[in-house]
């Protein structure tokens, strides 16, 4: 799961890398001349490689992707625009209090609600979930995503995290899969991240290029598991790589 620290947009036309640890402004191109190459390395050693172009001008977000994200609309006991799976017995999703989704699971099985066509492959998204009461845990995940990319929620707080979509069918799920829980959600927002913060940089596919794509991406590279980066000086190619291990 991409946290607030290391994050990347992998989509062609809007490739960038961003982080909270420090600014990468010192590595941008000067006068259109590329000076540094960037490699992202995931936990398995797979890489995404590109060339650093410009400093980010500030994070900007697209429109809301989740329908009925504030849980204001309900049809009987189910939230409008959400499909509820495995409700029954001691497992329920209800409006309690008004304008909130309360998820209760007695531990006898899984329970979750879903929306289709929320996210697009390779795009980076910012999720914000406002949880007002919590006992036990729920999970947020994308269909086809690996288990390690799931987000666990187990406290009453405003939870913010990033996720680079790596599934093919665009579904998002919220639910209780293991054990008992009683969790109340006030809202769940998902928006595409369009541009990086001033710490981040835009990426191009060629030296001195302007097309914001990655130059190469290993087939098994996981943008939600970035463990380190390498920055290579192209002007002085024998210079040491810079390693950031997070």
Instruction: Note the pLDDT tens digit of each residue in 120-142.
Output: 989 999 999 999 999 999 999 98
Give domain status of residue 212, yes or no. yes
Single pTM value for the model: 0.92
pLDDT, position 244? 55
Of 192, 212, 230, the domain-final residue: 192
Residue 3 has pLDDT above 50, yes or no: no
Give domain status of residue 209, yes or no. yes
Same domain, 134 and 175: yes
Number of separate domains in the chain: 2
Same domain, 92 and 167: yes
Same domain, 106 and 94: yes
Out of 12-21, 141-150, 200-209, 229-238, pick the least confident: 141-150
pLDDT, position 1? 40
pLDDT, position 143? 77
Same domain, 70 and 184: yes
- Which tokens go with 8? 């990347």
Separation between Cα atoms, residue 164 and residue 48, nearest integer Å: 13
Same domain, 234 and 172: no
Of 153, 174, 192, the domain-final residue: 192
**Do the beta carbons of residue 67 and residue 75 sit within 8 Å?**
no
Same domain, 201 and 92: no
Domain containing residue 90? 62-192
Give domain status of residue 1, yes or no. no
Give domain status of residue 182, yes or no. yes
Same domain, 181 and 90: yes
Placement of tokens 């769940």 in the chain: 188
Residue 49 has pLDDT above 70, yes or no: yes
Phi-psi category of 38—alpha, beta or left, where left has phi over 0 and alpha has psi -120 to 50? beta
CATH number of the domain encompassing residue 132 = 2.60.120.260
- Which tokens go with 40? 């992202």
- Which tokens go with 3? 């946290």
First vs last Cα of the chain: how many Å apart?
Answer: 13
Question: Mean pLDDT throughout 207-221?
Answer: 97
* Nearest of 198, 239, 207 to residue 54 by alpha carbon: 198
DSSP string, the chain: ---SSEEEE-STTS-EEEESSS--GGGS-BTTB--EEEEEEETTS-EEEEEEEEE----EEEEE-STTTT---EETTEETT-EEES-BTTEEEEE-STT-EEEEE-SSS-EEEEESS---TT-EEEEEEEEEEEEE-EEEEETT--GGGPEEE-SSSEEEEEEE---SS--EEEEE-SS-EEEEEEEEEEEEEEE--TT-EEEESSTT----S-SEE-TT--TT-EEEEEEEESSSTTSPPEEEE-
Q: What is the pLDDT of residues 139-191, one digit of tens each?
A: 999 876 655 568 999 999 999 999 998 766 688 999 998 889 999 999 999 99
Give domain status of residue 94, yes or no. yes
Residue % of the chain over a pLDDT of 70:
91
Same domain, 70 and 171: yes
Same domain, 70 and 187: yes
Same domain, 72 and 167: yes
- Per the model's pLDDT, the better-predicted residue between 243 and 18 turns out to be 18
Average pLDDT, the chain: 91
pLDDT, position 242? 58
Same domain, 84 and 183: yes
* Nearest of 128, 175, 117, 184 to residue 150 by alpha carbon: 175
Of 147, 169, 192, the domain-final residue: 192
Same domain, 34 and 97: no
């Amino acid at each position: 799961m991409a946290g607030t620290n290391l994050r990347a947009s992998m989509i062609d036309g809007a490739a960038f890398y961003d982080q909270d640890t420090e600014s990468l402004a010192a590595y941008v191109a000067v006068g259109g001349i590329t000076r540094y190459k960037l490699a992202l390395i995931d936990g398995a050693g797979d890489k995404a490689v590109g060339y650093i172009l410009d400093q980010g001008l500030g994070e900007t977000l697209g429109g809301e992707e989740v329908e009925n994200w504030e849980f204001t609309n309900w049809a009987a006991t189910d939230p409008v625009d959400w499909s509820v799976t495995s409700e029954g017995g001691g497992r329920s999703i209800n409006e309690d209090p008004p304008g909130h989704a309360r998820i209760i699971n007695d531990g006898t099985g899984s329970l979750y609600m879903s929306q289709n066509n929320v996210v697009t492959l390779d795009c980076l998204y910012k999720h914000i979930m406002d949880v007002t009461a919590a006992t036990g845990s729920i999970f947020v995940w994308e269909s086809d995503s690996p288990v390690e990319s799931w987000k666990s929620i187990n406290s009453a707080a405003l939870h913010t995290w990033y996720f680079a979509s790596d599934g093919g069918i665009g579904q998002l799920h919220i639910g209780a899969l293991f054990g008992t829980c009683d969790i109340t959600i006030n809202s769940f927002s998902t928006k595409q991240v369009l541009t990086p913060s001033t710490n981040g940089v835009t990426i191009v596919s060629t030296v001195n290029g302007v097309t914001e794509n990655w130059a190469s991406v290993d087939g098994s590279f996981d943008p939600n598991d970035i463990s380190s980066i390498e920055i290579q000086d192209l002007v002085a190619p024998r210079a040491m790589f810079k390693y950031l291990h997070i």
